[in-house]
A and B are shown apart, each in its own frame.
Chain A
Amino acid sequence: MSAETNPTYQAVIGLEVHIQLLTSSKLFASDANKYGDPPNTNISVITLAHPGTLPRVNKQALELAIKMGLACGSEISQYMIFDRKNYFYPDLPKGYQLTQDRTPICVGGSIEVVTDQGPREIKLNRIHLEEDAGKSFHPPHTNESLVDFNRAGTPLIELVTEPVLHHPDEAYQLLSEIRKLVTFLGICDGNMEQGSLRCDCNVSVRRMGETALGKKVEIKNMNSVRNVRRAIEKEVKRQIGQLEKGDRIISETRSFDEKTGGSTSMRSKEEVTDYRYFPEPDLSPLQIPDDWLQSIKEAMPVLPKQLQLQLEEQFGFVLEDALFLTDSVEMHNFFDQAVKQFPYPEHILNWLKGPVQSVLNERGITISQLGLTTSQLGELASLTAGELSFSVAAQKILPLLLEDPSGTPKAIADRLGLLGSSNSDQLEPVVLEVLETFPDKVNAYKKGKKGLLGFFMGQVMKKTNSTVDPKMANELLSKHLN
């Protein structure tokens, strides 16, 4: 349910997306930026805020942030400072977070999303750099919390949209697009479950035609793009329900509950959120030199949108297929590599979107986790571009390839006797044998019971263990029956 099912209300949604940058070290210190290590092993005196330590900016983090800005058509700030955002929480050792309040590294810009309503440019407010906090754990049955500072100081960019989204699906499409962008740019791994990409949603509703914004509620802790859509759907419904009852909306932060799709109140924003931002005196200002900015521009990778157009133009693929191949950087790279080795684009596409994608869905993995090589798939495609039957290869060869990563499609096909003229030579005696076993049915067929062809096919398949090309079997049967 969203506002459009209740035409008297309009939902207004803005996203704040936190994107962990793929640097080797932290934003202001040299300890490793790495997920999944034992607690408190990627730390330093700067990260832990020991007295007398001074932060220094990681140049690579600036470059990755600038890349995102360029991809979104933002204006890049060539002069910047950092600001302190002051609050107390145990996972924030300094008692303030270093962020950019006054001079975000990227200003404005937009990202195109395509929904049922057609394409739309979603305007961005800003993208700024900041440091991540540590992680707290709250084990039950004790009155203590545990803190791990491995994540503290990890470079983040926070992308803030204007409050211009009106449908949960727009938010879903936008976040999908952002995830695609950051992975194609290679600036973030886009993993929402591990928290390297996080999305907070600001949601409010207002009566249709009103221009003032309603009280906004922030929802946090969604661990997938799909759950962002669910959370917004429920929140819009909840707010409309409140207003219809005559209650007012309280400006607050709510935490998403994966089980119900709803959310529970975390803290009221009306209480105390006074962050008292002020310029960080421990960091000198940054001035991005023109020639550096220029060289970042020149080294920008091709973006998914352009890749999609290239695929349509170069190979004549339809939009749906081009979108499939550019849905993730892994899939696109796989296709690209396979086509370079085996020039059968159409066949490679069919393999990827059919049998390969269904294995990926089944196992819930990505193509780089599958263990299939681009040359294996390319060779498969070259065989099915020839005489090898696609359905037979998908049933017989692909499973064996996935079991034995060192196998080659050609060797497996040879072993199973699926290739070459010998195949036809071997098949003919089988066909004749089947026809000789069932003289009555052959007579019935000749008298007009053409449906018996299926019966003969079934017999041939049984005798050959389904290793033959159905098309070839069909041709041979027809030849001998008529």
Chain B
Amino acid sequence: MEINRETLLKIAHLARLNFSDESEDEMLQGLNDMINWVEKLHEVDTEGVDPLTNMSQEVNSWREDEVKSDISREQALKNAPKKDEEFFKVPKVLK
């Protein structure tokens, strides 16, 4: 699989990444190297093997429906770059 410039720019947009035109070639090369390296896995026959979605072998690691509060609003807002007494503040977004 070959990553072309169009795909690179699409991925960059989806990830909200900006880079200069000069570094595009470098990015393209790096991405293609990675894909080629991982593509080696195609050599393994996985016929009839379910995809592995989790490294642990456990199932049903669920919890009971109980309310436990772990942090206060004050603590929650502490790390926010912008806030008031009640809310997180972000650059204006309108749907």
Partner of B63, one of A38, A58, A88, A145: A58
Known A149-B88, A284-B54, A287-B60; contact A24-B71, beta-carbon cutoff 8 A = no
Tell whether, in the assembled complex, residue B65 and residue A88 are in contact, meaning their CB atoms are under 8 Å apart. Answer: no
Chain A, 1-47, CB within 8 A of any chain B CB: 23-25, 30-32, 38-45
Name the B residues within 8 Å of A148 (CB-CB): 86-87
Name the B residues within 8 Å of A286 (CB-CB): 59-60, 62
Known A30-B67, A136-B93, A144-B91; contact A284-B77, beta-carbon cutoff 8 A = no
Against B, the Cβ 8 Å flags (1 = close, 0 = not) of A261-297 are 0000011000010101001110111110100000000
Known A144-B91, A284-B54; contact A45-B70, beta-carbon cutoff 8 A = yes
Tell whether, in the assembled complex, residue B53 and residue A144 are in contact, meaning their CB atoms are under 8 Å apart. Answer: no
**CA of A146 to CA of B77, assembled, Å:** 12
| Total A-B contacts with CB atoms under 8 angstroms apart | 134
Tell whether, in the assembled complex, residue B69 and residue A44 are in contact, meaning their CB atoms are under 8 Å apart. Answer: yes
Known A60-B65, A279-B53, A281-B53; contact A89-B59, beta-carbon cutoff 8 A = no
Interface band, chain B = 35 or more
Tell whether, in the assembled complex, residue A40 and residue B88 are in contact, meaning their CB atoms are under 8 Å apart. Answer: yes
Interface centre among A144, A149, A281, A286 (most CB of B within 10 A): A144
A48 at the interface (CB under 8 A from B): yes
Tell whether, in the assembled complex, residue A147 and residue B65 are in contact, meaning their CB atoms are under 8 Å apart. Answer: no
Chain B, 80-95, CB within 8 A of any chain A CB: 82, 84, 86-95
Tell whether, in the assembled complex, residue B56 and residue A266 are in contact, meaning their CB atoms are under 8 Å apart. Answer: no
Name the B residues within 8 Å of A58 (CB-CB): 62-63, 65
Partner of A144, one of B60, B68, B90: B90
**CA of A308 to CA of B88, assembled, Å:** 49
Chain B, 6-38, CB within 8 A of any chain A CB: 10, 13-14, 16
Partner of B76, one of A24, A25, A48: A48
**CA of A61 to CA of B63, assembled, Å:** 10
- Cross-chain pairs A/B with CB under 8 angstroms, 27 sampled: A25-B67, A31-B69, A40-B73, A40-B77, A43-B76, A56-B61, A56-B63, A59-B62, A61-B65, A81-B54, A88-B16, A90-B88, A90-B90, A136-B90, A137-B87, A143-B91, A144-B89, A144-B91, A145-B93, A146-B90, A272-B13, A279-B53, A280-B53, A284-B56, A284-B60, A284-B61, A286-B59
Name the A residues within 8 Å of B45 (CB-CB): none
A462 at the interface (CB under 8 A from B): no
Tell whether, in the assembled complex, residue B82 and residue A144 are in contact, meaning their CB atoms are under 8 Å apart. Answer: yes
Name the B residues within 8 Å of A45 (CB-CB): 70-71
Known A25-B67, A31-B69, A41-B73; contact A284-B59, beta-carbon cutoff 8 A = yes
Name the B residues within 8 Å of A23 (CB-CB): 65
Tell whether, in the assembled complex, residue A44 and residue B77 are in contact, meaning their CB atoms are under 8 Å apart. Answer: no
Tell whether, in the assembled complex, residue B70 and residue A279 are in contact, meaning their CB atoms are under 8 Å apart. Answer: no
A328 at the interface (CB under 8 A from B): no
Residues in A lying within 8 Å of B, measured CB to CB: 23-25, 30-32, 38-45, 48, 56-62, 81, 86, 88-90, 136-138, 142-149, 255, 266-267, 272, 274, 276, 279-281, 283-287, 289
Tell whether, in the assembled complex, residue A60 and residue B64 are in contact, meaning their CB atoms are under 8 Å apart. Answer: yes
**Interface on chain A toward B: helix, strand, loop, or mixed SS?**
loop
Name the A residues within 8 Å of B54 (CB-CB): 81, 279, 281, 283-285
**CA of A376 to CA of B13, assembled, Å:** 65
Name the A residues within 8 Å of B92 (CB-CB): 138, 142-145
Partner of B89, one of A30, A59, A145, A266: A145
Least distance between B8 CB and chain A CB atoms (Å): 14
B48 at the interface (CB under 8 A from A): no
Partner of B67, one of A24, A43, A61, A272: A24
Known A284-B58, A286-B60; contact A272-B14, beta-carbon cutoff 8 A = yes
Least distance between B18 CB and chain A CB atoms (Å): 14
Tell whether, in the assembled complex, residue A138 and residue B93 are in contact, meaning their CB atoms are under 8 Å apart. Answer: yes
Tell whether, in the assembled complex, residue B51 and residue A279 are in contact, meaning their CB atoms are under 8 Å apart. Answer: yes
Tell whether, in the assembled complex, residue B86 and residue A39 are in contact, meaning their CB atoms are under 8 Å apart. Answer: yes
Partner of B86, one of A40, A62, A281: A40
B44 at the interface (CB under 8 A from A): no
B66 at the interface (CB under 8 A from A): yes
Name the A residues within 8 Å of B93 (CB-CB): 89-90, 136, 138, 145
Least distance between B49 CB and chain A CB atoms (Å): 15
Instruction: Select from chain B the residue with minimum beta-carbon distance to A283.
Output: B54
Name the A residues within 8 Å of B77 (CB-CB): 40
**CA of A81 to CA of B82, assembled, Å:** 36
Q: A32-B67, A148-B87, A287-B59 are in contact. List 8 more A-B contacts (CB 8 A).
A: A43-B73, A58-B62, A81-B53, A147-B90, A266-B95, A272-B10, A279-B51, A284-B60
Name the A residues within 8 Å of B41 (CB-CB): none
B1 at the interface (CB under 8 A from A): no
Known A144-B82, A146-B89; contact A56-B73, beta-carbon cutoff 8 A = no
Least distance between A445 CB and chain B CB atoms (Å): 74
**CA of A81 to CA of B58, assembled, Å:** 12
